[in-house]
Amino acid sequence: MATVFVSTQLPGTGVAELAREHQVILGDGLLAASLPGDVAALITVLTDRVDAAVLERLPALRVVANVAVGYDNVDVAACAARGVVVTNTPHVLTESTADFTFGLLLAAARRIAEGDRIVRAGRFTGWTPTYMLGTRVSGMTLGIVGLGRIGQAVARRARGFGMRVVYTQRTRAPEAVERALCATYAGWPDLLALADAVTLHCPLTPATQHLIDRRALAAMKPGAILIYTARGGCVDEGALAEALERGPLAACGLDVYEREPAEHPRLLACGRAVLAPHLGSADTPTREAMTALAVANVAAVLAGEAPLSPVTK
């Protein structure tokens, strides 16, 4: 029986099942100073920072199971140096996040969130032919940054909307993948110049920090839309607000922020910004599946077996 520290309440039955085999401690966040020294497994969420201070405190630690596909909150190199396995929860949230991406795109392009605010405020004074015209989604060229699991799921949905899909990433996808998705590879400048909407599905790394900066925004089409559900750090929010205020962007839809939770005064002031509170994978079956996968990773490592979804650096 090992000690497992779960940093916060998780949906589903996974943690209760783990508690039949191991001593499970449910925490209220991950504070290094309050962690018992004999913890062998940590189940963390994206708001926890697994850093040197945490690792120092836990000499018996064998696995960090992050309940998220992104793992920029975990110092993977420091874990590797101590022989601590790090796992994430890919696959189980792919479709949910792709659904949400399309929700943001539709809401931003067709002014759904903005319209909702107008109706609630009693400011809908009647239909006219020129009232609240938005951007047509069907048939647009969609630029996908990162054709990984979620990018591909977005590309599949795009076909149903009659979109042309262009994508970019460090390494071009295999031809069979491109063909199956009808996705055309483009270099970074071409993607920005071609896309009516750009959607980011890349991890946050030093290389993607402020990938969308003032220069990238200036290279986008007049009237373009930016969508992102990845990590807020990929976008310079000040530059984004400016691109909404002065162009070229018509609208944006975002689910993640440079600092969470946080106020975004300039973005809040942009009527055409759809701002979601980090809900990309927030449906019940998805969150339960994420918990179950994290728990299965912990159980495997504690049993001396290979984890199901280790991360690699």
Q: How far apart are CA 144 and CA 234, in angstroms?
A: 14
Q: Max alpha carbon distance in the chain (Å)? A: 68
Question: Is 210 one of the catalytic residues?
Answer: no
Contact region with ligand GLV (CB under 6 A), list: 24-32, 65-73, 108-116, 186-194: 65-73
Task: Indicate which single residue of 2, 63, 86, 93 sits in contact with ligand GLV (rule: CB under 6 A).
Answer: 93
Give yes or no for a cis peptide into 248 (omega within 30° of 0). Answer: yes
Which residues between 114 and 133 bind ligand GLV (CB under 6 A)?
A: none
Number of residues that bind ligand GLV (CB under 6 A): 7
Task: HSE, CB side, 13 Å, CA atoms: give it for residue 193.
Answer: 5
Our finding on whether 293 is near ligand GLV (CB under 6 A) is no
> Which residues in 262-277 are b (16+ Cβ under 10 Å) and which e?
eebeebeebebbbebe
CB of 119 to ligand GLV, least distance (A): 30
User: For residue 188, which of 166, 214, 155, 162 has the smallest C-alpha distance?
Assistant: 166
Alpha-carbon distance values, 76 to 83, 85, 90, 121, 133 (Å): 10, 9, 16, 47, 47
Our finding on whether 70 is near ligand GLV (CB under 6 A) is yes
Task: Indicate which single residue of 69, 104, 194, 300 sits in contact with ligand GLV (rule: CB under 6 A).
Answer: 69
Question: Is 260 one of the catalytic residues?
Answer: yes
Question: Is 95 one of the catalytic residues?
Answer: no
- Read off the DSSP letter of residue 235: B
The dihedral built from the CA positions of residue 229, 232, 234 and 236, taken in this order, carries a sign that is positive
Our finding on whether 252 is near ligand GLV (CB under 6 A) is no
CB of 278 to ligand GLV, least distance (A): 6
CB of 65 to ligand GLV, least distance (A): 13
Our finding on whether 146 is near ligand GLV (CB under 6 A) is no
Q: Which of 62, 231, 264, 287 is catalytic?
A: 231
Indicate the residue among 227 and 244 with the shorter CB distance to ligand GLV: 227
Q: Which of 56, 245, 260, 305 is catalytic?
A: 260
Q: Measured in Å, how far apart are the chain's first and last C-alpha atoms?
A: 30
Q: Are 243 and 218 in contact (CB under 8 A)?
A: yes
Our finding on whether 98 is near ligand GLV (CB under 6 A) is no
Task: Indicate which single residue of 280, 293, 296, 309 sits in contact with ligand GLV (rule: CB under 6 A).
Answer: 280
Task: Indicate which single residue of 96, 281, 297, 309 sits in contact with ligand GLV (rule: CB under 6 A).
Answer: 281
Strand partners, 226: 198, 252
The residue ranges that bind ligand GLV (CB under 6 A) are: 46, 68-70, 93, 280-281
User: Where in the sequence numbering do the catalytic residues fall?
Assistant: 231, 260, 278
